Structure 1
Amino acid sequence: MSLLTTLARLEAVRSGRAEPLATVRHRHLSERPMVLVPLATAGEDGAPLAVLLGTERAAPKLLLVPQPLNRTQRFEFLADFAAELLPYLDSFAGEVEQVEGSEKDPETGEKIPVLRELCADAPQLIVPNSGAVRHLALLGRSTRFRRTAEDPDPGPYPAPTRVPLLGRWLTHLTDRAQVPGSSLLLPMTGLLARHWATGQSHLEDQHLAAQLAWHFPPDGWTGARAAERAETGRGEDGRLLHPPAGPVTDPRFDTLVLAPAITRHDAALAALRQAAPGEQARAELHLKQAHERLHGALESELLPTWRDLWQGLDLLRALPPAAHLTERWEGDRWSYTGHRDRLAAGEPPQPRRDDAVTAARKLAQREREQARLDIQEALDDPLAMAGHRLAGEAFSGTVTAVELEYDTSGRSAKPRPLLTLATPDRPHADPGREVHRAGAASAQKAEIVAAAPGEVTVRVLSGMGRKREPEPGSLPEVGERVVFTLFELTARQSAPLPEPDDTPWTHGGPPGADRTPPTGPEDWE
């Protein structure tokens, strides 16, 4: 946690309200997100119990498993879940744009220009917290390898055809959620924590209702008191006023409401199976009533979190979007387009474990994206840059003098002007350290010449054109405010990695080993 975040949390404790950590919105928000509130069965994270989902605030749809231990009912639930989610995911696949690119010619090895399809937009899933992301990842892992009735050997429990497809999409979305700055799948608690600081711990922030209580405490209440009430307040029936934000359930709800409702449904279903021909109608009515009571109990448990999610979206939409959002969302669009193309090509599902090269590439990508995200947020948001300034990784000041000097060591003199800045910051750097000017028209490097309390002098080394005199506008004027960072303003590319077939036996080889794609779930274990 940065010093700025710590200070904001302390200020939130003092003021009793959430304090801003950003002046702009650093994550993309879709105009039509799919909001999901999943519930898991107590004691089994990967066993689904229910999900409340939809793209409209006033029209949520509840899907449930009447008996989570029943394999057939669980697959029926997953098939219904896929029937709701897959059309939303597919609705972004049709509208595309042509993007110019290049690829290597397989014969000559030279780069040749090509046109590639890029989906004009991509889906976005909003869930309550990081626990919901892990639950969806478990669902994806448990379903993407399932055999269906269309397979040559479907096995004893074939799944509906669309269930493995749902699993592949959930795996892709949850894997993409691990990439810093990605917005395909977002937990609301993480979104709010990035933009506002509360006076409670990160663990307490995982309760969405408690986190929102710091934003909207009742009159005369502090955020801490409102959050405590959101976490522990119960009604006359003993149920929490604000149930956990998924995927876990309240133990008292499980004992007092859920378990009796499931037992009642099981009994009604058993009675229907054993009913005599003349009692079928009555047994069906009892089963319908039991299902409605179970449906109502789960809906009442999920609706408070549903409303909290949309309230969080309202808060975030009030912030102006950051300048680099479009660039990062384009990366998400490429990710979505690539997975769409892999599905269309009939490629096998994602393996349970990545090979060494794939794992290294994923790690390198996440490290690179984290560095890029930190840089872009600092350039987009003065509060983010303030965190770097407090850490001594940047400094901001007003130009008090511009002295034009030249480097005459080469054949022609090169401009090397000196800038003197009046600044309250104290960069953690000795003279000679390379710094980078933020907000310049082109990349501009400099080096620290002298640093004293209240004043820093830097020598500009680049970004001034190729002539003897600096290009107009390439240098700041006296009185102008500038920012320099001790870190580069572009993320470095990682070293290239070998292809899987070129790795040694210690990392998945030897070269030339049989890499026939697996044909069934047993081949992926």
Structure 2
Amino acid sequence: MSLITTLARLEAVESGRAQPAATVLHRHLAERPLVFVPLTTSGEAGAPLGALVGTDRDAPRLLVVPQPRDRDLRFAFLAELADVVLPYLDAYADVVEAAERSETDPETGKRVKVEVELCADAPQLIVPGRAGIDFVRLLGRSTRFRRTAEQDPEAPHPAPPRVPLFGRWLTHFGERARVPGSALLLALTDVLSRHWATGQSSLEDQHLGALLAWLDPPEGEPGAEAAVRAELQRDARGQLVCPPAGPATDPAFDNQLLAPAIERYDRARTALAAAEDGIEADDRLGELTAAEREIRGLVESVTRPTWDAVWRGIDLLRTLPEGAHAADRWTRDRWSFTGHRDRVVAGEPPQPRRDDAVTAANKLATREREQARLEAQEALDDPLVMAGRRLAGEAFAGEVTEVVMAYGEGKRPSPRPLVTVRTDDRPHLGERARVYRSLGGKPQAAEFVGYDDEGAAVVLRIVDKMGRGKEPEAGSVPEKGDLVCFTLFEHEQRGGAKLPDPEETPWTHGGPPGESDAPPLPDPVTEEDVL
């Protein structure tokens, strides 16, 4: 936690209201996101109880599993959920635009530009909290390997054809959510707590109702009191007024309302199966329908407040202007979405249960690189974030007091002007340390030379982005009186070393190539082995 965030939390405690931790929106927010509010059965993480899903805040789609232990009802729920999500994804997969991408020519081995299709936009899924992302990942893992009747006619409980495809998409969204800065799948509590600092802990910020109580408390009520009320207040029946933001349920709801309703549903279904004539069957069917309607009402009563809270949080995020680099990160999300669409169309198998060594290393390197890129871009987009980096000694800002033209040594001397910057910051500069500033959206590097005689100004040597002539291009060198900001961190991250192909890994990582992965067969049993 940066010093700026700590100060913002202290101010939130004193004022009773959340304080800004950012001045711009650092995540892309789609015009038409798909909101998904799941609910699971207590004690069974993989057994869904119901969900609210849709793109219209006034008309969500309610999906319910009346008996979560019934496998057929769970599969029907997944099929119905797939019928909502897949058309939403397909609407973005069909609209494409031309784009260029660098690829390696198999004949020459050189990088060349090729024209490919890129989806003009990408879908966006929003869940209430971090646990919702875990549930999406769990659903993907449990459905993408399901066998359909066409694939295996003898498979027990075959899945509808769209369910495995649905699982592959959920897995992709869940994996993409692990990439820092990605916006394909967002947990609203994480996005809100990134842009506002409350007076409670990060764990308490995962309760959407309590978080919104700090961001937008009722008139005249401090955020701390409103948050406690959102967490603990109960109605006359002993139920929470603001239920948890899913997928977990409240024990009081489970014991007092849900369990009796499911028991009535089970009795009605048993009675319907035992009905002997048509009149009795009609009566039992009516009881079963009433019991199912009761469960639907209970599920809607605990998911609708969260549904409304999610859209309320989205409205708060829309009040912030989008950061300059958020569009670039969204473009990478579009490439990711397009790539998975192409893999599905090509008939490639589902994602494996476990990544091989090379794939896992590539994913880890990508996430580390994107984390560093995200931190740098957020600081460049947001003065408030940059202030935190300046307080940490990772950047400094000030006024240019002197510019002295100098040239490098060599056969063709290049301009290396010396720039003196007076600053009140205390950057952690070492001998010949590199610093960077943004020049026309590109990083310009400078080298730390030393401090002036008074020790209040930093002397830098500009080393690039000045053109190829003997004299620097206009605007490439700061002038006296300019206000500049230099960072000690790089603005663009470099790629790592190229990893070998999976089939060329050594024996310590799944090789050696050409040998079977199957273990050797045991020695045959002989008469001497049996007593």
TM-score (normalizing by structure 1): 0.95
1:4 maps to amino acid? I
Alignment of 1:157-306 (within 5 A): 157-277=157-277, 278-306=279-307
Distance in 2 of aligned mates of 1:336 and 1:274? 50
Match of 1:430 in 2: 430
Contact 1:440 1:474 (C-alpha < 8 Å) held by counterparts = no
1:144 maps to amino acid? R
1:282 maps to amino acid? D
Match of 1:521 in 2: none
Distance in 2 of aligned mates of 1:222 and 1:102? 54
1:399 maps to amino acid? V
Asked if residue 414 in structure 1 is aligned to residue 438 in structure 2, the reply is no
Distance in 1 of aligned mates of 2:7 and 2:337? 38
Distance in 1 of aligned mates of 2:167 and 2:77? 13
Asked if residue 14 in structure 1 is aligned to residue 3 in structure 2, the reply is no
1:261–1:454 distance in 2 versus 1, CA, 3 Å: farther
SS in 2 for 1:498: coil
Contact 1:438 1:482 (C-alpha < 8 Å) held by counterparts = no
Larger CA deviation: 139-148 vs 98-107 = 98-107
Contact 1:26 1:325 (C-alpha < 8 Å) held by counterparts = yes
SS in 1 for 2:426: coil
Cα deviation digits, residues 301-325 of structure 1 (max 9, x gap): 0011001100010011111011111
Larger CA deviation: 243-252 vs 10-19 = 10-19
| Shift, 1:154, TM fit | 3.9
| Shift, 1:405, TM fit | 2.4
| Shift, 1:111, TM fit | 4.7
Contact 2:398 2:424 (C-alpha < 8 Å) held by counterparts = yes
SS in 1 for 2:419: strand
- Find 1:502's aligned residue among 489, 501, 504: 504
SS in 2 for 1:214: helix
Contact 1:426 1:453 (C-alpha < 8 Å) held by counterparts = no
Distance in 2 of aligned mates of 1:8 and 1:98? 44
SS in 1 for 2:101: strand
Match of 1:53 in 2: 53
Match of 1:373 in 2: 374
1:366 maps to amino acid? R
Match of 1:459 in 2: 461
Cα deviation digits, residues 127-186 of structure 1 (max 9, x gap): 001101101111111111111111235422212221111111111100100000100000
Distance in 1 of aligned mates of 2:152 and 2:298? 41
Distance in 1 of aligned mates of 2:34 and 2:478? 46
Contact 2:439 2:476 (C-alpha < 8 Å) held by counterparts = no
Distance in 2 of aligned mates of 1:441 and 1:404? 24
SS in 2 for 1:157: coil
Distance in 1 of aligned mates of 2:267 and 2:31? 44
SS in 2 for 1:92: helix
| Shift, 1:113, TM fit | 4.4
Larger CA deviation: 89-98 vs 459-468 = 459-468
Larger CA deviation: 94-103 vs 10-19 = 94-103
1:238 maps to amino acid? G
TM-score (normalizing by structure 2): 0.94
Match of 1:313 in 2: 314
| Shift, 1:422, TM fit | 2.0
SS in 2 for 1:469: coil
Contact 1:210 1:227 (C-alpha < 8 Å) held by counterparts = yes
Distance in 2 of aligned mates of 1:479 and 1:203? 46
| Shift, 1:489, TM fit | 1.3
Distance in 2 of aligned mates of 1:391 and 1:286? 66
Distance in 2 of aligned mates of 1:108 and 1:456? 48
2:368 maps to amino acid? E
1:477–1:441 distance in 2 versus 1, CA, 3 Å: farther
Distance in 2 of aligned mates of 1:161 and 1:515? 32
Distance in 1 of aligned mates of 2:441 and 2:248? 50
Q: Superposition RMSD on alpha carbons, in Å?
A: 1.6
Identity of counterpart residues, as a percentage? Answer: 60
SS in 1 for 2:235: coil
Distance in 1 of aligned mates of 2:103 and 2:418? 44
| Shift, 1:367, TM fit | 0.7
Match of 2:25 in 1: 25
| Shift, 1:102, TM fit | 4.2
Distance in 1 of aligned mates of 2:428 and 2:41? 51
Match of 1:358 in 2: 359
Distance in 2 of aligned mates of 1:158 and 1:3? 55
1:126–1:154 distance in 2 versus 1, CA, 3 Å: farther
Distance in 1 of aligned mates of 2:86 and 2:440? 45
1:218 maps to amino acid? P
Distance in 1 of aligned mates of 2:263 and 2:36? 27
Cα deviation digits, residues 448-496 of structure 1 (max 9, x gap): 2224664222121222222222211111222211000111111111111
2:217 maps to amino acid? P
1:105–1:461 distance in 2 versus 1, CA, 3 Å: closer
Distance in 1 of aligned mates of 2:509 and 2:265? 52
Distance in 2 of aligned mates of 1:83 and 1:66? 19
Asked if residue 388 in structure 1 is aligned to residue 389 in structure 2, the reply is yes
| Shift, 1:106, TM fit | 3.5
SS in 1 for 2:215: coil
| Shift, 1:512, TM fit | 2.3
2:325 maps to amino acid? H
| Unaligned runs of at least 5 residues, structure 1 | 517-525
1:111–1:480 distance in 2 versus 1, CA, 3 Å: closer
Contact 2:177 2:186 (C-alpha < 8 Å) held by counterparts = yes
1:312–1:259 distance in 2 versus 1, CA, 3 Å: same
Distance in 1 of aligned mates of 2:107 and 2:420? 56
Alignment of 1:41-120 (within 5 A): 41-111=41-111, 113-120=113-120
Match of 1:472 in 2: 474
Aligned length: 515
Distance in 2 of aligned mates of 1:348 and 1:304? 39
1:119–1:501 distance in 2 versus 1, CA, 3 Å: same
Asked if residue 335 in structure 1 is aligned to residue 353 in structure 2, the reply is no
Larger CA deviation: 36-45 vs 107-116 = 107-116
Asked if residue 136 in structure 1 is aligned to residue 136 in structure 2, the reply is yes
